[in-house]
């Protein structure tokens, strides 16, 4: 019997199910390695970065909701590393946290990441071993999980916002990644901001064109404050999770480190008039982070507000009334300090901690202690009040599960994985602890996380 072409193709399509797992993993690698890229404007030297697959940002990974992501991390760096899949409700063993969920992958080593993608949305991946240096050097990329019924837009664009601190003379990263001054203050801020590895990122669009813009803040410490110019927009998702109703953008968009926002925007500017994504700069001006050049009239008429994105599964937060509220106080940092905190099994005063390069504490604990901040039974409702008793803002991120913020009147905010808590303010988060394992709860200002602001919870 001979195979027709159709039957042969059908046979091939079924093959991955029966092939050994390594065959699949081997075909899709993610290699952490040094690379040289042009980050600074033309005329300045190129920058030696740490990259995934030689790219900055790393390759965009785009898959369908419900499918499986598998990548073999190959470590071609000279330091150990690991990959965290930020915002994914993932198996704990795949979460990529060196020292908690896996051992860091040594130079020359590999690690196979493979997991399901239960939720559609805008996510990202980044190094989670000495992140304050590795992410700043370029180890991050976008992870997009597509809805089975995507929204009605003309284009879908991923914009990874970042900043880099470069020495203009040499093009290399400036200063020391562990600089104590930066770690004890607002963090490592770049002198060059950009999108998708370019300081002069731009888009072409037509008037009345409808774009989905997926913004990801991959910066170590910078809080982006953004405005739309020449575009009318709606927020349709935050940190990957759809809003029940799109909200028209009427004020600044605040995007803290690690946060994402999905916007649907209509280009309203006429041909030749400016449209842009503007970013608030330190000198009190608004700068174009992404210029949009408007090239002509799209034949379509103006559309009304977009429909909401389809909700992700199993996301309700229930049982609030019976849940105990646990308080997690953020302490430390410049101009405030703290009396004492627990570090490596001992109580230490602030001066002792500073000598060890530790500036911050969460709930009296500096860095990962032996015991979690809290243990939850599987399915239990968790409520944590994050109290910022410092003079800096902190972007607090929970691994493994999304939460809702709880307002003072008990009403629930949108589903998120990272919440910005301003100085002397507090935020309460609530979630159903339904994903078993050890999960970090830490500040995503990575210099803060690397000098004390990292704690964890355990779900049995």
Interface with ligand C2O (CB under 6 A): 84, 86, 126, 128, 258, 397, 399, 440, 442, 444
Strand 241-248, strand 253-255: pairing: unpaired
> Min. distance of Cβ 184 from ligand C2O in angstroms?
20
> Min. distance of Cβ 306 from ligand C2O in angstroms?
28
> Min. distance of Cβ 251 from Cu ion in angstroms?
24
Query: Could you say which of Cu ion, ligand C2O, none residue 89 binds, taking C-beta under 5 to 8 angstroms by partner kind?
Result: none
Considering the complex, state which of residue 258 and residue 263 has its C-beta at the smaller distance from ligand C2O: 258
Cβ–Cβ < 8 Å for 212, 155 = yes
CA distances from 155 to 26, 151, 206, 209 (A): 32, 10, 11, 8
Number of residues that bind Cu ion (CB under 5 A): 4
Of 39, 11, 134, 44, which is closest to residue 84 (Cα–Cα)?
Answer: 134
> Min. distance of Cβ 334 from ligand C2O in angstroms?
23
Considering the complex, state which of residue 86 and residue 210 has its C-beta at the smaller distance from ligand C2O: 86
Q: Which of 278, 348, 443, 446 binds Cu ion (CB under 5 A)?
A: 443
Query: Could you say which of Cu ion, ligand C2O, none residue 183 binds, taking C-beta under 5 to 8 angstroms by partner kind?
Result: none
> Min. distance of Cβ 399 from ligand C2O in angstroms?
6
Cα angle 417-421-423, degrees, rounded to a multiple of 5: 165
Work out the number of other CB atoms within 10 angstroms of the CB of residue 55: 16
Q: How far is CA 137 from the centre of its chain?
A: 16
Query: Could you say which of ligand C2O, Cu ion, none residue 86 binds, taking C-beta under 5 to 8 angstroms by partner kind?
Result: ligand C2O
Q: Does 448 bind Cu ion (CB under 5 A)?
A: yes
Q: From CA 211, how far away is CA 207, in angstroms rounded? A: 11
> Min. distance of Cβ 379 from Cu ion in angstroms?
30
Query: Could you say which of Cu ion, ligand C2O, none residue 160 binds, taking C-beta under 5 to 8 angstroms by partner kind?
Result: none
Residue with nearest beta carbon to ligand C2O? 86
Query: Could you say which of ligand C2O, Cu ion, none residue 207 binds, taking C-beta under 5 to 8 angstroms by partner kind?
Result: none
Query: Could you say which of ligand C2O, Cu ion, none residue 402 binds, taking C-beta under 5 to 8 angstroms by partner kind?
Result: none
Work out the number of other CB atoms within 10 angstroms of the CB of residue 447: 28
Q: Which one of 299-307, 337-345, 413-421, 440-448 is the stretch in contact with Cu ion (CB under 5 A)?
A: 440-448
Q: Which one of 52-60, 100-108, 320-328, 447-455 is the stretch in contact with Cu ion (CB under 5 A)?
A: 447-455
Q: Does 221 bind Cu ion (CB under 5 A)?
A: no
Query: Could you say which of ligand C2O, Cu ion, none residue 338 binds, taking C-beta under 5 to 8 angstroms by partner kind?
Result: none
Considering the complex, state which of residue 98 and residue 432 has its C-beta at the smaller distance from ligand C2O: 98
Q: What is the DSSP string of 104-145?
A: PBPTT-EEEEEEE--S-EEEEEEE-SSHHHHTTTT-EEEEEE
> 396-433 burial, b if ≥16 CB within 10 A, otherwise e?
bbbbbbbbbbbeeeeeebbbbbbbbbeeeebbbbbbbb
Q: Which of 348, 445, 446, 457 binds Cu ion (CB under 5 A)?
A: 445
Considering the complex, state which of residue 278 and residue 362 has its C-beta at the smaller distance from ligand C2O: 362
Q: Which residue has the tokens 């910066």?
A: 219
Gyration radius of the chain over CA positions: 22
> 223-257 burial, b if ≥16 CB within 10 A, otherwise e?
bbebbbbbbbbbbbbbbbbbbeebeebeeebebbb
Q: Which residue has the tokens 């019976």?
A: 322
Q: From CA 258, how far away is CA 222, in angstroms rounded? A: 10
By the 10 Å C-beta count (0-12 exposed, 13-18 middle, 19+ buried), 373 is classed as middle
Considering the complex, state which of residue 95 and residue 428 has its C-beta at the smaller distance from ligand C2O: 95
Query: Could you say which of ligand C2O, Cu ion, none residue 258 binds, taking C-beta under 5 to 8 angstroms by partner kind?
Result: ligand C2O
> Min. distance of Cβ 9 from ligand C2O in angstroms?
40
By the 10 Å C-beta count (0-12 exposed, 13-18 middle, 19+ buried), 284 is classed as exposed
Considering the complex, state which of residue 126 and residue 416 has its C-beta at the smaller distance from ligand C2O: 126
Q: Does 442 bind Cu ion (CB under 5 A)?
A: no
Query: Could you say which of Cu ion, ligand C2O, none residue 448 binds, taking C-beta under 5 to 8 angstroms by partner kind?
Result: Cu ion
Query: Could you say which of Cu ion, ligand C2O, none residue 430 binds, taking C-beta under 5 to 8 angstroms by partner kind?
Result: none
Q: Which of 84, 126, 207, 394 binds Cu ion (CB under 5 A)?
A: 394
Tell me if residue 382 falls in helix, strand or coil: strand
Query: Could you say which of Cu ion, ligand C2O, none residue 84 binds, taking C-beta under 5 to 8 angstroms by partner kind?
Result: ligand C2O
> Min. distance of Cβ 185 from Cu ion in angstroms?
10
Strand 202-207, strand 286-297: pairing: parallel
Considering the complex, state which of residue 210 and residue 416 has its C-beta at the smaller distance from ligand C2O: 416
Cα angle 418-99-133, degrees, rounded to a multiple of 5: 65
Q: What secondary structure, in 3-state letters, does 45-111 show?
A: CCEEEEEECCECCCCCEEEECCCEEEEEEEECCCCCECEEEECCCCCHHHCCCECCCECCECCCCEE
> Min. distance of Cβ 397 from ligand C2O in angstroms?
5
Applying CB under 5 A, which residues contact Cu ion? 394, 443, 445, 448
């Amino acid at each position: 019997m001979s195979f027709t072409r159709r039957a042969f193709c059908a046979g091939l399509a079924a093959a991955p199910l029966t092939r050994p797992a390594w065959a699949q993993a081997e075909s899709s690698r993610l290699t952490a390695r040094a690379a040289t890229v042009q980050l600074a404007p033309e005329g300045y030297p190129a920058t030696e970065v740490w990259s995934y697959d030689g790219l900055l940002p790393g390759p965009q990974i785009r898959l369908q909701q419900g499918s499986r992501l598998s990548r073999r991390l190959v470590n071609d760096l000279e330091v150990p590393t690991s990959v965290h899949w930020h915002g994914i409700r993932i198996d704990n063993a795949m979460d990529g946290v060196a020292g908690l969920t896996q051992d860091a992958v040594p130079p020359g080593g590999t690690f196979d990441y493979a997991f399901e993608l239960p939720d559609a949305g805008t996510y990202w991946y980044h190094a989670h071993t000495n992140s304050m240096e590795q992410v700043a050097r370029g180890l991050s990329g976008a992870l997009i999980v597509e809805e089975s019924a995507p929204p009605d837009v003309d284009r879908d664009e991923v914009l990874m916002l970042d900043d880099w601190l470069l020495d203009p003379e040499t093009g290399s990263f400036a200063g020391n990644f562990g600089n104590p001054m930066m770690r004890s203050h607002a963090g490592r801020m770049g002198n060059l901001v950009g999108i998708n590895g370019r300081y002069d990122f731009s888009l072409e669009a037509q008037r009345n064109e409808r774009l989905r813009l997926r913004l990801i803040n991959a910066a170590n410490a910078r809080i982006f404050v953004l405005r739309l110019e020449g575009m009318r927009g709606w927020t349709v998702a935050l940190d990957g999770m759809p809003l029940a109703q799109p909200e028209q953008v009427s004020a600044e968009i605040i995007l803290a480190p690690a946060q994402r926002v999905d916007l649907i925007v209509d280009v309203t500017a006429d041909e030749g008039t400016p449209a842009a994504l503007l970013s608030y700069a330190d000198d009190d001006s608004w700068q174009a982070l992404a210029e949009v050049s408007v090239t002509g009239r799209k034949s379509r008429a103006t559309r009304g507000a977009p429909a909401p994105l389809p909700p992700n599964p199993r996301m309700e937060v229930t049982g609030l009334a019976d849940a105990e509220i646990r308080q997690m106080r953020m302490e430390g940092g410049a101009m405030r300090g703290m009396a004492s905190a627990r570090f490596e099994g001992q109580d230490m005063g602030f001066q002792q901690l500073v000598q060890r390069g530790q500036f911050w504490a969460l709930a009296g604990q500096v860095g990962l202690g032996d015991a979690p901040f809290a243990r939850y039974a599987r399915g239990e409702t968790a409520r944590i009040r994050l109290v910022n008793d410092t003079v800096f803002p902190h972007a607090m991120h929970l691994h493994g599960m999304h939460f809702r913020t709880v307002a003072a009147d008990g009403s629930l905010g949108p589903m998120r994985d990272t919440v910005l808590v301003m100085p002397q303010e507090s935020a309460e988060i609530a979630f159903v602890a339904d994903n078993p394992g050890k999960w970090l709860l830490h500040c995503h200002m990575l210099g803060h996380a690397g000098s004390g602001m990292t704690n964890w919870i355990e779900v049995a």
